[in-house]
């Protein structure tokens, strides 16, 4: 695989572009959540149907990533990256101007289809220009710190804009961000794929995906990341019930505790970026999986024997979030660096499968009728145990270049 040689300033520009577009994808998915009741009233729609629009976005987003991998291998990263942003901008315009629930969903679908391109190709573009896997993992760690701010900021900004103006102000904000990202990419993002494929076909794409999914190392790291993502999403969904209902905290105290968890995910990513100067990426992942398992054991002990001990559960949550901050960048790196070619397909498949697995597990978990404390404890233990077994049973010593 030929590697594009770029200067450090150019790498920084690439990271800024990918950071902004990654944050944009999360803003698009989350910013209008506080406005769902207002949109329900305006469009005279069933609240549960409108709430499904959030899940609808992620389902389309996940599958759309499968399209862009092969397209980027044929036509190059840059043109597909920009095309996706353009589709998303059109979708945002339709959403902003929508006069019915159907138009809103069409706009949301186009936003999801469009944002799947920059979100799935971002990690691939960085891999094109950063061939060393340890350097790549460090860049992914620091990149993750910024993207983790988005799910915290998006609902807050969305709520403020909707309160001061109207729910459509959320999408005006998204439109401004989208156009800014497009202009930034148009001027500063260069083509990073030096040897595009000469042909494209559905049959070839299917063969490529089957070829990727047969790689046991790809499956291992994709599953580890998916298991962690499942627990993170489930924690987000259950945390309000856990801390406000079970522990009786007020919303302000709950917000502070939730923010502490987010801070430790970012701290984990920052620590990982620093630590990879001195230790192997495989070692960092093993440490993180060990912390994941340790946190689940503490949480299980708390849930079974000290169910109202807030200090113990906070210790478990802090360790759990710290491990998440390490697992995400190391697992995505180790899954992608297994391959030397067809990275577009690899990145697309990684994003699609990991997101679908996480969405499925978290959707099942939140409807199980047991207390949030017990449910979260057993979910963490199950996911951490599987991640530990994957780490032990599939060693990294036999990595194969593809």
Per-residue model confidence as pLDDT tens digits over 320-363: 999 998 998 888 888 887 777 677 777 778 888 888 888 788 77
Within 10 angstroms of residue 142's Cβ, the number of other Cβ atoms is 16
Specify whether the CB–CB gap between 31 and 174 falls below 8 A. yes
Instruction: Give the tokens for residue 119.
Output: 């979100």
Question: Would you call 201 helix, strand, or coil by DSSP?
Answer: coil
Contact 223, 390 (CB under 8 A): yes
Mean pLDDT of the chain: 82
CA angle 95, 97, 101 (to 5 degrees): 55
CA distance 310 to 291: 20
- Quickly state the pLDDT bin for 399 (edges 50, 70, 90): very low
**Residue 26 is encoded by which pair of tokens?**
């999360």
User: Mean pLDDT throughout 36-52?
Assistant: 76
From the number of C-beta atoms within 10 Å of its C-beta (0-12, 13-18, 19+), residue 393 rates as exposed
CB 246 within 8 A of CB 371: yes
- 197: pLDDT confidence band, cut at 50, 70 and 90? low
Instruction: For residue 340, give the DSSP letter.
Output: S
The residues, any chain, with a CB within 8 Å of residue 279's CB and separated by 6 or more, are none
- Residue range 273-299, pLDDT digits in tens: 888 888 988 899 999 999 999 999 999
- Which domains, ranges and CATH numbers included, belong to the chain? 8-189+196-200 (1.20.1250.20), 215-395 (1.20.1250.20)
In sign, the C-alpha dihedral spanning 365, 301, 392, 271 is positive
Residue 52 CB contacts under 8 Å (≥ 6 apart), including other chains: none
pLDDT in tens, 224-234: 999 998 888 78
What percent of the chain is helix, strand and coil (3-state, nearest 5)? 85, 0, 15
In the DSSP assignment, the letter for residue 191 is P
Instruction: Find which of 203-217, 226-240, 300-314 is predicted with most confidence, using mean pLDDT.
Output: 300-314
- In 91-130, which ranges are E strands? none
Q: What pLDDT does 402 receive?
A: 46
CA distance 58 to 138: 27
Both structure tokens of 363: 């959707």
pLDDT at 174 (0 to 100): 93
Q: Which of 222, 223, 224 is nearest to 324 (CA)?
A: 224
For the segment 12-31, the average pLDDT, to the nearest whole number, is: 82
Q: What is the pTM of this model?
A: 0.74
């Amino acid at each position: 695989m030929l590697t594009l040689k770029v200067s450090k300033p150019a790498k920084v520009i690439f990271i800024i572009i990918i950071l902004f577009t990654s944050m944009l994808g999360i803003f698009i998915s989350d910013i209008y959540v506080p406005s769902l009741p207002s949109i329900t009233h305006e469009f005279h729609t069933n609240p549960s149907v409108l709430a499904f629009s959030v899940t609808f976005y992620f389902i389309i987003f996940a599958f759309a990533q499968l399209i862009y991998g092969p397209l980027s291998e044929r036509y190059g990263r840059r043109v597909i990256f920009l095309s996706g942003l353009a589709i998303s901008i059109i979708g945002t315009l339709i959403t902003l101007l929508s006069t019915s629930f159907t138009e809103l969903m069409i706009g949301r679908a186009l936003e999801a289809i469009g944002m799947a391109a920059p979100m799935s190709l971002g990690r691939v573009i960085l891999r094109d220009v950063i061939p060393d896997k340890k350097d790549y993992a460090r860049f992914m760690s620091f990149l993750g710190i910024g993207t983790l701010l988005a799910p915290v900021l998006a609902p807050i900004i969305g709520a403020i804009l909707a309160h001061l103006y109207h729910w459509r102000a959320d999408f005006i904000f998204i439109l401004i961000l989208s156009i800014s990202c497009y202009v930034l990419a148009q001027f500063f993002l260069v083509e990073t794929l030096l040897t595009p494929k000469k042909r494209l076909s559905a049959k070839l794409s299917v063969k490529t995906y089957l070829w990727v999914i047969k790689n046991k190392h790809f499956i291992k790291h994709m599953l580890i990341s998916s298991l962690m993502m499942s627990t993170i999403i489930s924690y987000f969904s259950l945390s309000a019930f856990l801390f406000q209902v079970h522990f009786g905290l007020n919303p302000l105290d709950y917000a502070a505790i939730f923010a502490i968890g987010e801070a430790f995910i970012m701290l984990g990513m920052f620590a990982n970026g620093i630590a990879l100067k001195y230790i192997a990426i495989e070692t960092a992942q093993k440490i993180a999986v060990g912390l994941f398992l340790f946190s689940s054991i503490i949480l299980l002990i708390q849930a079974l024997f000290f169910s109202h001990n807030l200090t113990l559960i906070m210790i478990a949550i802090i360790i759990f979030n710290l491990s998440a901050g390490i697992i995400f960048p190391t697992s995505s790196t180790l899954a992608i660096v297994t391959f030397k070619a067809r990275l577009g397909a690899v990145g697309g498949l990684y994003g699609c499968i990991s997101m679908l697995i996480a969405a499925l597990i978290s959707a099942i978990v939140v409807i199980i009728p047991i207390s949030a404390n017990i449910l979260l404890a057993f979910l963490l233990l199950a996911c951490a145990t599987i991640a530990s077994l994957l780490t032990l049973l599939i060693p990294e010593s036999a990595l194969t270049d593809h």
